Structure 1
Amino acid sequence: MIGPGTTFGRRMMDLGWVLFLLLILWPVMLIVAAMILIRDGRPILYVSERMKTPTQGFKLLKFRTMKNVDQDSGVSGGDKTHRITKTGKTLRRYRLDELPQLFNILKGDISFVGPRPPLRRYVERFPTLYAEVLKDRPGVTGLATLMYHRTEEQLLENCETPEETEAVYERRCVPRKAQLDLLYSKRRTLGFDQRLTVATVFRRVAPIYRPGRSKWLL
């Protein structure tokens, strides 16, 4: 299904990539699922509501990397580090926890490339900002993900309480990531999406934008 912010060409590229990756990665996904089941028990998947438009949510799939708690909300910061399982540390290190999102792409909830789908709470807190960001279909990877992911981790890893994590994320991360997402939106092409996808899958090298230059470089 082709939804808001998704062209026919972009959807065809998504389907091509996702079918290719599912074909070669399904054994890895089965092994990861078995590891979680044996070492940490059920559930194998972590399901989180995310937003693909300012008003429409969907269920984002990930392999579970944390111990279960009755209530869990907000982004992951230092206050949640103690909950990460040994299996989860390995999955997060190699981003294997995100493999189930291939099924979100197949379904059409998200694209390969686009802004990371936000939690409903942030969309409701910053409606004007996300009204612009979510004009593009969210993605597994994107300019903000590649350029800001490590910085975000460094900012949040020293937060000791959920309140501190929320404050830092809203003050430091939300505006910067939105700025990069909107910058990408103005310059996006199928070719650039392809380059970001390749960088994520094979090299995971952040693209570099040089002020005054007309091109993004990898």
Structure 2
Amino acid sequence: MSSKTWLILHKRTVDRFYPKFGKRLFDLVFGVPGLFVLFPFILAIGIIVKLADGGQVFFRHQRMGKDFRKFYLYKFRTMAPESEKKGLQITSGEDKRITPVGRFLRKYKLDELPQLFNVIKGDLSLVGPRPEVEKYVNLFLEDYREILLVRPGITDFAAIEYRNEEKVLAKYSNVEEGYIKEVLPHKIKLYQIYLEQMSLTTDLKIIFQTLWSIVK
């Protein structure tokens, strides 16, 4: 990518008032109180995960962040202990590695709650393109040169549309191939739409849509 192209992308994506100055403030104003309010639930879920099979409470996985900086994304562990080392980095609805407790947590997106710590640390935004693993980022490198001009987020248009991503992936005989050839390219288009529409209003809209999609 030429320096001229990069400057055009930068101006279009992040060189605006809200992305440049307001978005981090938005994350802290809503993220810090949100963490305090939800901390009792986070603690309770952690105890349940531990008691269920004695394994680790949290699962951490390296993802690509803003400006291609790597960071560890935190979730509640939803698969059997050590099983994440024995299979694909993506899961489908039929994945036998997922525990009964984990299936419940995934259904209501409760496994994502520890990512509030990532928000406070500055790894994530509340709203933004979902963070991806390096392997898949490298397959769509030109697209991610723009996408990773901003912090990834906990939720966005793609997270809402693929609310039941595991069920979508379950229809493919080769889950990873389906993800690479169909699901991820569509997600990338939704990420790009978000970058074009990124604003305080858009972020509030996405948060409310996310909450509604979980409780409805």
SS of corresponding position for 2:204 = helix
Question: Residue 68 of structure 2 contacts residue 148 of structure 2 at CA under 8 Å; is this kept in 1?
Answer: no
Structure 2 match to 1:64: 77
The one-letter code sitting in structure 1 at the alignment partner of 2:152 is P
2:119 alignment counterpart: 105
CA shift for structure 1 position 72: 4.3
Q: What amino acid maps onto 2:68 in structure 1?
A: T
Deviation at 1:154, TM superposition (A): 3.0
- Report the equivalent of 1:141: 155
Q: Does 1:130 align with 2:144?
A: yes
Percent sequence identity over aligned pairs: 36
**Structure 1 stretches lacking a partner, 5+ long:** 206-218
Q: Does 1:52 find its partner at 2:65?
A: yes
Check the 8 A contact 1:78/1:159 in 2, yes or no.
Answer: no
Q: Larger deviation: 61-70 or 108-117?
A: 61-70
Give structure 2 stretches of 5+ with no counterpart.
1-12
From 29, 40, 56, the counterpart of 1:27: 40
In 2, the alpha carbon distance for the partners of 1:15 and 1:90 equals 29
Specify which of 114, 127, 143 is matched with residue 128 of structure 2.
Answer: 114
1:204 aligned counterpart, secondary structure: helix
Aligned twin of 1:15: 28
Aligned residues: 196
| TM-score, reference length from structure 2 | 0.84
SS at match of 2:162: helix
> What SS is found at the alignment partner of 1:46?
strand
Q: Which amino acid aligns with 2:171?
A: N
User: 1:132 Cα shift?
Assistant: 2.1
Residue 135 of structure 1 deviates from its aligned partner by: 2.0
The TM-score normalised by the length of structure 1 is 0.83
Mapped to 2, the partners of 1:47 and 1:17 lie a distance apart of 23
Q: Is the 8 A contact 1:77 1:159 kept in 2?
A: no
Residue 213 of structure 2 aligns with which residue? 204
Q: Residues 96-152 of structure 1, C-alpha deviation per residue, up to 9 Å, x if partnerless?
A: 1000000000000010111000001011122112112222211000111112333x3
Task: After superposing the two structures, state which structure 1 stretch, 92-101 or 19-28, moved more.
Answer: 19-28
What is the CA–CA distance in structure 1 between the aligned matches of 2:44 and 2:87, rounded to whole Å? 26
1: CA distance between counterparts of 2:24 and 2:41?
25
